[in-house]
Structure 1
Amino acid sequence: MEENFTYINDNYIVEEELCTVAGITKNELTDLIQNHLVPDASYVITKIVKITSPLNDEFLSESTEKYFNKSCISLIQKNKNIQDPSDYKEEFKNKFIQNLVNHPDKTFAYGNIFKENIPNAEKLDEAFEEEWEAYCNGIYGICTLNSSEEEIVKKEIAVKKLIHFNTEYSGKTLTKDELDELITLNEEFNEVAHKFAPYQRALSSRGKYLDKILDQNNLNHLVKKY
């Protein structure tokens, strides 16, 4: 339990501190989140305190603390004066598409969205809307280091390449070239991905597609530690 608190406290910023550093009020932060100008909290920790005494009475108190990706600091400074929230979504979408289309391994991303290097416009819009919703809900504050358009694209591709590699080689003895490829995939994933909180690590993309196959191939020293 303690290691989860330590990880979140070390890697995220609490709501009150975020507002202080960014120079805004909690109400202003709420407005930014509701207008999709800043992602929602990535973790919420609820604490329940129970007090009892020999008088057979008890007192219960519950408190919650929201934790945000630290990239929200600069994002607030950038977006707090935007009048039309749709401007930011359009900017985000353009950067997302640009990073996706220009990625050398783009064909791994989002199923069969590319045909002869030209993206299917309808499927591209669907993929973006799904990613935008995940971004606004704070999911990419968990999955990626900085929750940026570039990292979202790179993580999608890194995960899909790992899934492909696992499908081909999981349970097999790897050759030197295959081991080198796995090491490269590990580096690509770590370039953009968080470690995930300990309680969610095993079921995360890191736990399922990277930690396990590194361990199977005696590359435990490459598994990210806390």
Structure 2
Amino acid sequence: MEQNFDYINENYITENELCNITDISKDELAALIQNQLVPQPSYTVSRSIRITSPLNDEFEREITEKYFSKNCISLVNKNKELKDIHLYKEEFKENFIRHLINHPHKGVAYDRIFNTSFPEQEKLNEIFESEWAAYCNGIYGICTLHSTEEEIVKKEIAVKKLIHFNTQFSDKELTAEESDELIKLSEEFNEVTQKFAPYQRKSSSRGKYLDKILEENNLDYLVKKY
């Protein structure tokens, strides 16, 4: 349990810290989140406190602390004076689609929508809206290092390439060439992806698609440690 707290405290900032650094109130932060100008907290930590004394009395209270990705500092500073709340989403969408279309390995992304013909704008819109919802919900604060449009695209592609590699090679001993390919895929994944909190590591994309196959092939030294 302590390892989870250490990880979150090291890699994320509390609601109070975020407000103090950016000089806004909690109500102002809540409004930014409501208007989708800042993502939801990525983690919420609740603790029960019980105090007793020789006077045979006691006090109990549950403390809840919200933890945000550190990139929210720049987002708050960027968007706290934004008059048109739709501008940020439009900018985010434009950057996301540009990074996706320009990525050299986009063919593996999003059910391989680029493999047959250029997808219709409607399909790109659907993909974006799904990723935007995940972003606003704080999910990419958990998964990626900086929650940028480019990292969301790169993580999608890195994960899909790892899934394909696992499908081909998870049940066999890797050759030297295949091990080299896995090492490159690991580097690509690590370029944009968080370690995940210890309690969720095994079920995360890192745990399922990278840690496991590295360990199975005596590449444990490449497994990200805490």
TM-score by length of 1: 0.96
In the alignment, structure 1 segments of 5+ residues that lack a partner are none
1:98-129 C-alpha deviation (Å, 9 max, x unpaired): 00000001011110321445123222211111
Partner of 1:98: 98
CA distance in 2, matches of 1:39, 1:54: 46
**2:44 match: secondary structure:** strand
Partner of 1:217: 217
Matching of residue 137 in structure 1 with residue 137 in structure 2: yes
- List aligned pairs for 1:18-33, cutoff 5 A: 18-33=18-33
**Residues 210-219 or 73-82, more deviating:** 73-82
Partner of 2:65: 65
CA distance in 2, matches of 1:150, 1:112: 18
1:24-51 C-alpha deviation (Å, 9 max, x unpaired): 1111111100000011100010011124
Matching of residue 177 in structure 1 with residue 170 in structure 2: no
CA distance in 1, matches of 2:59, 2:142: 34
**Residues 123-132 or 48-57, more deviating:** 48-57
Cα shift at 1:82: 1.0
CA distance in 2, matches of 1:35, 1:222: 40
- List aligned pairs for 1:33-112, cutoff 5 A: 33-52=33-52, 58-112=58-112
Residues 171 and 216, structure 1, Cα contact 8 Å, conserved in 2? no
TM-score by length of 2: 0.96
CA distance in 2, matches of 1:14, 1:182: 36
Residues 100 and 106, structure 1, Cα contact 8 Å, conserved in 2? yes
CA distance in 2, matches of 1:55, 1:22: 44
Partner of 2:202: 202
CA distance in 2, matches of 1:117, 1:225: 41
1:50-104 C-alpha deviation (Å, 9 max, x unpaired): 2456787643201111110000011111111111211111110000000000000
1:159-200 C-alpha deviation (Å, 9 max, x unpaired): 000000000000211111111110000000000000000000
**1:68 match: secondary structure:** strand
**2:110 match: secondary structure:** coil
- List aligned pairs for 1:113-192, cutoff 5 A: 113-116=113-116, 118-192=118-192
Residues 113 and 120, structure 1, Cα contact 8 Å, conserved in 2? no
Residues 113 and 124, structure 1, Cα contact 8 Å, conserved in 2? no
In the alignment, structure 2 segments of 5+ residues that lack a partner are none
- What amino acid is aligned across from residue 160 of structure 1 in structure 2? K
